[in-house]
Amino acid sequence: MKKRVLSGIQPSGKLHIGNYFGMIKRMIEYQESSDLFCFIANLHSLTTLTDSKEMKKLTLDAAMDMLALGIDPNKCHFWVQSDVPEVAELTWILSCITPMGLMERAHSYKDKIAKGIQPNLGLFNYPALMTADILINQSQVVPVGKDQKQHVEMARDIAIKFNNQFGETFVIPKPDIPDEVATIPGTDGQKMSKSYGNTIPIFDDESVIKKAVMGIVTDSKGVDEAKDPESCNIFALYKLFASESEIKELSDKYKAGGLGYGDAKKMLLSKILETFRPFQKKRTELESNIPEVEKILAKGAEKVRITSLDTLNKVRLATGLKY
Residues 6+ apart with CB under 8 A from 193: 18, 186, 199
Q: What is the percent of the chain where pLDDT is above 90?
A: 85
- Could you give the number of structural domains in the chain? 2
- Across the range 269-290, mean pLDDT stands at 96
Instruction: Say whether both 46 and 116 belong to one domain.
Output: yes
Instruction: Say whether both 297 and 227 belong to one domain.
Output: no
| pLDDT for 194 beyond 90 | no
| pLDDT for 147 beyond 80 | no
The DSSP annotation for 198-218 comes to: ---BSSS-HHHHHHHHHT---
Q: How far apart are CA 116 and CA 255, in angstroms?
A: 41
Q: What is the pLDDT of residues 60-82, one digit of tens each?
A: 999 999 999 999 999 999 999 99
Instruction: Say whether both 109 and 150 belong to one domain.
Output: yes
Q: Give domain status of residue 195, yes or no.
A: no
Instruction: Say whether both 264 and 304 belong to one domain.
Output: no
Q: What is the pLDDT of residues 207-217, one digit of tens each?
A: 999 999 999 99
Q: Which of 21-30, 108-117, 194-203, 254-263 has the highest mean pLDDT?
A: 254-263
Q: Give domain status of residue 76, yes or no.
A: yes
Residue positions annotated with a catalytic role: 112, 191, 194
The parent domain of residue 262 ranges over 204-284
Q: Give domain status of residue 258, yes or no.
A: yes
The DSSP annotation for 42-72 comes to: HHHHTTT---HHHHHHHHHHHHHHHHHHT--
pLDDT band per the 50, 70, 90 thresholds, residue 181: low
pLDDT at 180: 61
pLDDT at 113: 87
- Across the range 263-272, mean pLDDT stands at 98
Q: Which CATH number is 271's domain given?
A: 1.10.240.10
The DSSP annotation for 135-158 comes to: HHTT-SEEE--GGGHHHHHHHHHH
Instruction: Say whether both 157 and 252 belong to one domain.
Output: no
Q: How far apart are CA 24 and CA 9, in angstroms?
A: 9
pLDDT band per the 50, 70, 90 thresholds, residue 182: low
pLDDT at 191: 87
Q: How far apart are CA 173 and CA 153, in angstroms?
A: 8
pLDDT at 126: 92
| pLDDT for 276 beyond 90 | yes
| pLDDT for 203 beyond 90 | yes
pLDDT band per the 50, 70, 90 thresholds, residue 107: confident
Q: Which CATH number is 294's domain given?
A: 3.40.50.620
Instruction: Say whether both 217 and 307 belong to one domain.
Output: no
